[in-house]
Structure 1
Amino acid sequence: MDHHKEAESHVDSDPNFLDAGEPNALVSEKNGTTADVHDMMRMGKRQETQRNFRHITIIGFCMVILSTWEAILSTAVFSLSNGGTAGLIWGYLICMIGFGFVVASLAEMASMAPTSGGQYHWVSEFAPPSCQRFLSYIVGWLGVLGWQTAAATVSYLTGKQLQALIILWDSSYVPQAWQGTMLIWAVLAVSLIFNTFFSRKLPLVEGVIVVLHVAGFFAVIIPLWVMGDRSNTGDVFTLFQDNMEWGNVPLSTMVGLTGAASCFVGIEAGAHMAEEVRNAAHVIPRAMMWTWIGNGLMGWIMAITFCFCVGDTMSVLLTPLGSQQIQVFLNTTGSAAGATGLTCIMLVIGVFACVAVMATNSRQLFAFARDNGVPFSSIFSQVSPTLGVPLNSVYLTILFVLLLSLINLGSSVAFMQVISLGVAAMLTSYLISIGCVALKRIRGEPLLPSKFNLGRLGLPINIIAVLFLLFLWVFTFFPSAPHPAVADMNWAVLGYGLVIIFALVYYAIHGRHVYIGPVEYVRKGQ
């Protein structure tokens, strides 16, 4: 099916695409507002999904998918190992501020072109004509890689917490790799159900979970403050530690930034749901900014609280539970039941964060397939007429993560290293996208109209974002400790390189013949 030719005939013949008589009036439940209709018409896309999300529900969706305060607890081990408590607190704040420039840049582009394609579409529209198609194609593959591995990450971390709870109640239990893999599959099964049978209820479900996300923040933080033995304030905020023996505390701290940065990767999730959001050009950028500031502040407060309750850092890092936050919960509450209760809040949120990740990556894959960017594009660009979601893209995501989880049977370390390459892939997609729009500004070329316009601050914001992303990108390929054994190497660079090579080979053989980039379907002058 040629979605773009069909889109043009649909635009020209469907009365729903006519102006409703007033600015941004509602056209229909499926097509959204007149602004949505105009945006889809300009981009040459056919409206195939339902616009079920509103302002509040998409903010809830974005906040749950990022789950920053939960994520900082799960990834704290990396920053504590490389930088100590001060490294975790100040490193997180640096990442939050840096990502503020990144989010603002992405939000502006999301308002200019509100499409599920996200970064690869923006690159196609904003890159110099000489490299639009090629750069867009590479960014599309990096986006697919990043979001597919994100589902593996969330499901793995959720399963790991479940195993830690079993150890908490039964010290004789020895976690087995196959059991961890089965837990990943269980989380994926829940995600599949909610992304198929309950897909139309997803805004409501994620709206309920965001209430738990906010309430859970207070449910966790209050016991930590009230019941915990707090460390010395001076030590918590000023004691930087090189626990992994890099021989250089500043270097160790910079390596630890990757843990904090991973809490913000995926901040553009709302953009990939743009074709299911009413008044997307206005709503999506604001949802992204509210997610950044709201989740960011909750994450920083949780990071500070966690650091005050850690106590002996090394004993927490070496906990037999295999989960540092559960060990801190146990130390604070003094009971397994208390630690279990706090952890269960995180587990529920983790499962539904995976549901949201699954929805996001299936839409990104669907959009790229719609533009003939992946093998068997005609299959993965189909949208179920009954459920209104790209079912084949959902199924492929499930299959990919299932296959990826088999690596966990051989080595959990190797599995974590493989999925960590998703962070590098996402940072690269942000970097190229923002770099393209910054270049247009430097050249004085006109940009598309935006309902979230950075104005004169646009160029400095873009440049700061690019420099920050370049800095982070380098450290995503560092090992977690100096002089690692072969098994402990950071193999993300290998996986990253293999994906790039595969994309280049596929592009040379087939992609360049069928992929022309979204910009070619854009209606000029709209």
Structure 2
Amino acid sequence: MLEFGKVQVLKRRFGLLSMISFTCILTCTWESMLCVFIQGFQNGGPAGLIIGFLWSWLGTMCIAASIGEMASMMPLSGGQYFWVYFIAPPKFRNFLSYVTGWINVLGWQAGTASQAFLAGGLIQGMLVLNYPNTYIFQKWHGTLLLYGVILVTLVINTYLASWLPKIEGLMFILHILGFFGILIPLTYLGPHGSVKDVFQTFANYGEWPNQPISFFVGISTSVYAFLGADSAAHLAEEIEGASTIVPWSMVGAIFVNGILGFAMLCAVLFCLGDIETVFTSPLTDAGFPFIQIFYTAVEARGGATIMTALVCSLMFFGTAACFTTASRMLWAFARDNGVPCSKTLAKVDPRTALPLWSITVSTIIPVCLALLNLGSTQAFNAVVSLTLAGMFISYLISIALMVNRRLRPEVEAKQLRWGPWRMGRWFGLVVNVIAMVYITVAVLFSFFPSTPKGINAESMNWSPVVFVAVVLFGVVYYFVRGNRFYKGPVVETNDEVEAAEGVKRIQA
């Protein structure tokens, strides 16, 4: 850290196993596929979901490897905006770094809201399952449940912060055991479809002009299930041996979650049962048709509730991990004067060694985004699109600049200081290009509505409007005021560096 002019102020709590656990729980791939597979089923069908998942798995592995290489070079919590500053052409580095940081902050704040949507919504889904004749589904109930989820994650990230690595380690065990706890009864007790039904059946229930467009609209389902690969990079300053552990955590977590996610997706598609029953179920109206699939398989509300509660618990702790990453990303960007009120947001409480102001703001933003649920039937899709666009465009800028460096060997040799985790020039170039193609396609189609029919103010996907508005605000703020304060990553003073070294000697 001192090499990049930064003082160690956060406690290094994480090792390799706890960081892989953290990243696996945050991405929650098999759990997320259960929660959101319906959009991919409507736009693409079973075969579209299978192909989309495999493509998303490959694309995310390439993203993880690409940003893992940069994280190995510069293991700091700022992540993408920090890397961009050091690899961008000097003329554009300040602006590109600022834009990258701004949209990445947006992506992670929206990511917290999206996972809280699912965790709170699953509680509502269990109410629909167990009280079909008395409970009336209301969107505002889901919003209040989301607030409850955010409140508890706030407690975990403050009062229980020192226990977070252990908590995520325990949740990783539940992540693995819970996978088998759901997969085995589902496949053993549930109805079984044919190989043709799963691997050769496409669908276009969204009524798009043709099947390819329908497929690409539905691919956002699988893309979402892998979001958050860079979470380890934003906790780099809380990891021992970050230059090695961060890239291996990202790649390892995506590899493990990809295997589990693909197996769970196949199980759900083979055990789908009667499609008409699934689509007309009140549980599908509540947003979670997989609960109906569980109920059809085990034929008992209690059994289906236990299986759903397991998914809900894991999504809840995934929200807590996402909350942690979002607050650290905001804190890092504020430390470098990238947001309004930076001095306040960059403060670290000396007693807890936590950025409490950034944690507070990371509570308020998802709470505000949750209000979309009150006025739009596509609120969750809009928040997912914001998450995807914010994270992916920050990846795209970083990776594109790295490709530029790889294609200019004279610059690469003189100016890039590689870390211990390196892909090599030509293999790295192939991986970078695949990642860029994947990102471009994913972002473009994430802004599409689920169907082109009957679009109105309530059913419209408002994410492009919100995304453009936030980015424009950031750009205007930069040219009006921000460029006077944001000059790239701030280099700490010599006194602060010496003080930090003194603290390390004392602790030793």
Q: Same fold (TM over 0.5)?
A: yes
Q: 1:72 aligns with which of 7, 30, 33?
A: 33
Deviates more, 1:481-490 or 1:366-375: 481-490
| Residue of structure 2 equivalent to 1:408 | 373
| Residue of structure 2 equivalent to 1:327 | 292
Q: Does 1:138 align with 2:103?
A: no
Q: Does 1:477 align with 2:447?
A: yes
Alignment gaps of 5+ in structure 1: 1-39
> CA offset at residue 170 of structure 1?
1.0
Q: 1:392 aligns with which of 357, 361, 372?
A: 357
Over 3 Å counting, the alpha-carbon distance change for 1:482 and 1:425 in structure 2 is same
Q: Which amino acid aligns with 1:220?
A: I
> CA offset at residue 409 of structure 1?
2.6
| Residue of structure 2 equivalent to 1:361 | 326
Q: 2:155 aligns with which of 179, 187, 193?
A: 193
| Residue of structure 1 equivalent to 2:471 | 500
Q: 1:488 aligns with which of 453, 459, 473?
A: 459
1:66/1:263 contact within 8 Å kept:
yes
> CA offset at residue 314 of structure 1?
4.3
Q: Which amino acid aligns with 1:400?
A: I
Over 3 Å counting, the alpha-carbon distance change for 1:488 and 1:467 in structure 2 is same
2:378/2:460 contact within 8 Å kept:
no
Q: Which amino acid aligns with 2:328?
A: R
1:407/1:414 contact within 8 Å kept:
yes
Task: Give, in whole Å, the separation in 2 of the partners of 1:177 and 1:467.
Answer: 36
Task: Give, in whole Å, the separation in 2 of the partners of 1:460 and 1:521.
Answer: 37
1:417/1:491 contact within 8 Å kept:
yes
Q: Which amino acid aligns with 2:440?
A: L
Task: Give, in whole Å, the separation in 2 of the partners of 1:424 and 1:314.
Answer: 33
Task: Give, in whole Å, the separation in 1 of the partners of 2:354 and 2:275.
Answer: 46
> CA offset at residue 391 of structure 1?
0.8
Task: Give, in whole Å, the separation in 1 of the partners of 2:451 and 2:100.
Answer: 30
| Residue of structure 1 equivalent to 2:180 | 218
Q: Does 1:53 align with 2:14?
A: yes
Task: Give, in whole Å, the separation in 2 of the partners of 1:230 and 1:505.
Answer: 56
Residue deviations 1:176-232 (CA, integer Å, cap 9, x gap): 222211101110111011100111111011111111011100001011111111101
Q: Does 1:514 align with 2:485?
A: yes
| Residue of structure 1 equivalent to 2:45 | 84
Q: Which amino acid aligns with 2:481?
A: H
2:113/2:370 contact within 8 Å kept:
yes
| Residue of structure 1 equivalent to 2:118 | 157
> CA offset at residue 42 of structure 1?
1.3
Task: Give, in whole Å, the separation in 1 of the partners of 2:430 and 2:117.
Answer: 38
1:64/1:353 contact within 8 Å kept:
yes
> CA offset at residue 520 of structure 1?
6.7
> CA offset at residue 346 of structure 1?
0.7
Task: Give, in whole Å, the separation in 2 of the partners of 1:263 and 1:415.
Answer: 14
Q: Does 1:348 align with 2:313?
A: yes
Task: Give, in whole Å, the separation in 2 of the partners of 1:418 and 1:344.
Answer: 23
| Residue of structure 1 equivalent to 2:250 | 288
> CA offset at residue 419 of structure 1?
4.8
Deviates more, 1:81-90 or 1:403-412: 403-412
Task: Give, in whole Å, the separation in 1 of the partners of 2:380 and 2:441.
Answer: 25
CA RMSD of aligned residues (A): 1.5
Task: Give, in whole Å, the separation in 1 of the partners of 2:368 and 2:213.
Answer: 35
> CA offset at residue 425 of structure 1?
1.4
Q: 2:389 aligns with which of 408, 420, 424?
A: 424
Q: Does 1:238 align with 2:207?
A: no
> CA offset at residue 264 of structure 1?
1.3
1:70 is paired with a residue whose SS is: helix
Identity of matched residues, %:
39
Task: Give, in whole Å, the separation in 2 of the partners of 1:299 and 1:252.
Answer: 22
| Residue of structure 1 equivalent to 2:504 | none
Q: Which amino acid aligns with 2:387?
A: G
2:281 is paired with a residue whose SS is: coil
Q: 2:60 aligns with which of 66, 88, 99?
A: 99
Task: Give, in whole Å, the separation in 1 of the partners of 2:276 and 2:381.
Answer: 22
Alignment gaps of 5+ in structure 2: 495-508
2:157 is paired with a residue whose SS is: helix
Over 3 Å counting, the alpha-carbon distance change for 1:388 and 1:317 in structure 2 is farther
| Residue of structure 2 equivalent to 1:109 | 70
**How many residues are treated as equivalent by the alignment?**
484
Task: Give, in whole Å, the separation in 2 of the partners of 1:409 and 1:98.
Answer: 34
Query: Mapping of 1:365-380 within 5 angstroms?
Result: 365-380=330-345
1:125/1:518 contact within 8 Å kept:
no
Q: Does 1:317 align with 2:279?
A: yes
